């Protein structure tokens, strides 16, 4: 998503004031149930304008109801410079929204009799060191495969990468590093990018063609998805017009936050698309053009674990009901500065498609839920200004105790003016650490921990700040809290061992 630059605190407050004055909610639910599509369009447009005004919504957005467009728009900037404006044809990295495409490729090969979903994966990937994992388990994140991204990260950070990484060596890495399964296949659900790296290689092996070529030939070209492609080293420069990821620092400046050089995670990600092309895909799914309607129903069926319980995930789709209790078929994407959401509300015939590029982690889901509420006749949600810009400004004149008191006061205020998203607060604390204001950074991170008590990232950020300011005992205490929340966290165990060494 791209947003017009609003750099000064004064301008942000003015934008928020304007946005608040526009907050004219739809009538009560009973009255709004008869709202016309034109009225819905007005309300959705006002929501996105307000969201843009508080520096959150920066991207391309499309809302369709019963086959008719309620809202289509692009807001903000195409890159960190703030000079290029976004258009609705700009292509975004869609992150893990890509997984449904990989799943569809596997289903198509199944429909052609080339494979069975209950085939063992090592039938097609002989190097895979796990003989009991099936393709169905890879599709539904129930295989227990460990994370090879951590290996790639070490290679990339260590400067040891001389050729592009596409993930097509994932089976080899799992075997070479003797990586153990996270759990017995089929016994649990745990989201796995590794599983979809492996599935992309199964598609290539079974089809006899490169994964990207298969996707282009079987889906993108026939469905008229002319602005969609698998990003590869050879076509990177050809992705135009294009959105580039960025983040807004606590001081209001911007920095690029686009792709990692030499890294192309094909299968779980690495697809660029537009909201219009994703709408073509959504229609094709529902019309039986991607897979048979019987298999489309199967793809929307929650996975059943070995013990008979289920998890709300199908074949590349999250099946958690919406906040209004409606059936929902969806998937998010989160890669670098890009946050995406692909949501179908089948009972209402609603498609909500959002592509953003300004690193606003939670804003996409919040906007998706707001759109559903508006269409359902609920009052348009109040939009809050992210607190970290004002926080950073106040840090120049407040001590650590005053800064934490201000955060606590504002979070308890009714009505609230500010939102306190986790990642921006951590970024603000990072800027304070770089300014050698360690006590203020810790005050912010302690508040962040209390505001997000189940977040391992919030605890880890606080532990790192304690360590940087010389309080090893406090750092160890935070890592122990991480393990209390998630006893099986390998990262927390390793960090605790490192701190206690």
Contact 440, 432 (CB under 8 A): yes
Question: What is the edge-to-edge ordering of all strands in the sheet holding 59-65?
Answer: 68-75, 59-65, 350-356, 338-345, 329-335
Q: What is the DSSP string of 221-245?
A: TTTT-TT-EE--TTTGGG--SB---
**What is the spatial distance between Cα 436 and Cα 439, in angstroms, rounded to a whole number?**
9
96 is catalytic: yes
- Other CB atoms closer than 10 Å to residue 154's CB: what's the count? 10
Looking from the CA of 470 toward its CB, the CA atoms found within 13 Å total 3
Q: What share of the chain is helix, strand, coil (3-state, %, to 5)?
A: 45, 15, 40
What's the token pair of residue 252? Answer: 């209001």
Torsion sign across C-alpha atoms 201, 203, 206, 208:
negative
DSSP-derived pairing of the beta strands 59-65 and 68-75 = antiparallel
Residues contacting 215, CB < 8 A, separation 6+: 101, 105, 230, 271
Point out the catalytic residue in the list 21, 60, 96, 253: 96
Task: Count Cβ atoms within 10 A of the Cβ of residue 422 and give its class: 0-12 exposed, 13-18 middle, 19 or more buried.
Answer: middle
Which residues lie across from 354 on neighbouring strands? 61, 341
Residues contacting 171, CB < 8 A, separation 6+: 125, 127, 128, 129, 198, 201
User: Collapsing DSSP states into helix, strand and coil, what is residue 111?
Assistant: helix
**What is the spatial distance between Cα 63 and Cα 344, in angstroms, rounded to a whole number?**
10
User: Collapsing DSSP states into helix, strand and coil, what is residue 199?
Assistant: helix
Q: What is the DSSP string of 379-396?
A: PPPPP-EETHHHHHHHTT
What's the token pair of residue 351? Answer: 């498609």
End-to-end CA distance of the chain: 44
Catalytic residues: 96
């Amino acid at each position: 998503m791209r947003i017009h630059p609003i750099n000064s605190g004064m301008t942000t407050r003015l934008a928020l004031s304007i946005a608040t004055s526009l907050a004219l909610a739809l009538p009560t639910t009973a009255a709004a149930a008869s709202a016309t599509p034109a009225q819905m369009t007005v309300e959705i447009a006002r929501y996105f304008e307000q969201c843009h005004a508080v520096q959150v919504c920066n991207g391309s957005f499309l809302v369709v109801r019963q086959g008719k467009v309620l809202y289509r728009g692009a807001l903000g900037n195409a890159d960190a410079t703030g000079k290029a404006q976004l258009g609705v044809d700009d292509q975004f990295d869609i992150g893990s929204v890509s997984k449904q495409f990989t799943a569809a490729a596997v289903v198509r090969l199944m429909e052609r009799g080339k494979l069975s979903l209950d085939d063992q994966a090592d039938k097609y990937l002989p190097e895979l060191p796990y003989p009991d994992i099936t393709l169905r388990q890879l599709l539904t994140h129930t295989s227990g495969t460990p994370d090879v991204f951590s290996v790639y990260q070490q290679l990339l950070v260590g400067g040891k990468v001389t050729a592009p990484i596409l993930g097509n060596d994932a089976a080899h890495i799992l075997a070479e590093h003797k990586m153990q399964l996270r759990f017995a296949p089929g016994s649990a659900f745990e989201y796995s990018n590794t599983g979809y790296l492996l599935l992309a290689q199964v598609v290539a092996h079974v089809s006899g063609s490169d994964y990207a070529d298969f996707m282009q030939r079987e889906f993108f070209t026939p469905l008229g998805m002319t602005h969609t492609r698998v990003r590869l080293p050879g076509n990177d420069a050809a992705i135009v017009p294009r959105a580039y990821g960025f983040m807004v620092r606590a001081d209001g400046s911007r920095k690029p936050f686009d792709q990692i050089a030499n890294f192309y995670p094909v299968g779980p990600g690495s697809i660029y698309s537009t909201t219009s092309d994703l709408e073509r895909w959504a229609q094709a799914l529902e019309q039986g053009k991607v897979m048979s309607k019987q298999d489309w129903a199967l793809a929307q069926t929650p996975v059943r674990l070995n013990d008979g319980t289920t998890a709300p995930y199908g074949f590349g789709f999250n099946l958690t009901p919406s906040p209004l209790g409606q059936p929902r078929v969806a998937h998010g994407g989160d890669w670098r500065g890009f946050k995406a959401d692909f949501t179908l509300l089948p009972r209402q015939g609603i498609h909500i498609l959002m592509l953003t590029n300004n690193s606003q982690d939670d804003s996409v889901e919040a906007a998706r839920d707001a759109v559903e509420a508006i269409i359902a006749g609920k009052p348009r949600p109040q939009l809050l200004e992210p607190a970290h810009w004002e926080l950073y400004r106040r840090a120049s004149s407040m001590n650590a105790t005053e800064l934490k008191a201000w955060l606590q006061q504002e979070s308890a205020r009714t009505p609230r003016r500010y939102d306190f998203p986790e990642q921006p607060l951590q970024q603000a604390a990072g800027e304070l650490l770089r300014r050698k204001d360690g006590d203020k950074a810790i005050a912010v991170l302690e508040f962040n921990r209390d505001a997000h008590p189940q977040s391992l990232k919030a605890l880890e950020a606080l532990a790192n700040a304690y360590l940087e300011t010389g309080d090893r005992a406090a750092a160890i205490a935070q890592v122990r809290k991480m393990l209390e929340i998630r006893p099986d966290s390998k990262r927390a165990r390793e960090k605790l061992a490192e701190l206690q060494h």
